[in-house]
Amino acid sequence: MSQFAFENLDVYKRALSFSKKILTITKEVKGQYSWCDQLNRAATSITLNLAEGSGRWHAKDKANFYFISRGSAFECVPLIELGFELGLIVEIQKTELRDDLQAVCQMLTKLIQSLKREPD
């Protein structure tokens, strides 16, 4: 078991895996700095806000960071679509990345909903 509780969350592990995929893909893309940078930052923000939220004491504070994390996941969707439309990623990558995001968003929603049962 990790000393940081968020590292044991399945959603964190899935989001970290997603971020790694994004960083690997964008490393290979040439000439699209803005797209790569924005996608890297959005993907990384998912895990960063999960970690920061888990360090908060109050359920409302935690939920706020988890909502930001979810928003970052949503931000990745149009970037992935744009990358596909521009030929920066292939269809199988697009499908896999979108599936990852769908799973992460569902997990984040459940995590946020679980906080509603906690006293603040």
- What mean pLDDT comes out for the span 88-103? 98
pLDDT (tens digit per residue) in 27-59: 999 999 999 999 999 999 999 999 999 999 999
- Supply the pLDDT for residue 116: 84
Helix boundaries (H) for 1-120: 10-28, 33-54, 59-85, 91-115
Measured between alpha carbons, how far is 63 from 12 in angstroms, rounded to an integer? 15
Could you give the 3-state DSSP secondary structure of residue 8? helix
CATH class as words, domain 5-115: mainly alpha
- Supply the pLDDT for residue 45: 98
Per the prediction, the chain carries an average pLDDT of 95
- What mean pLDDT comes out for the span 112-118? 84
Q: Could you tell me how far CA 52 lies from the centroid of its own chain?
A: 13
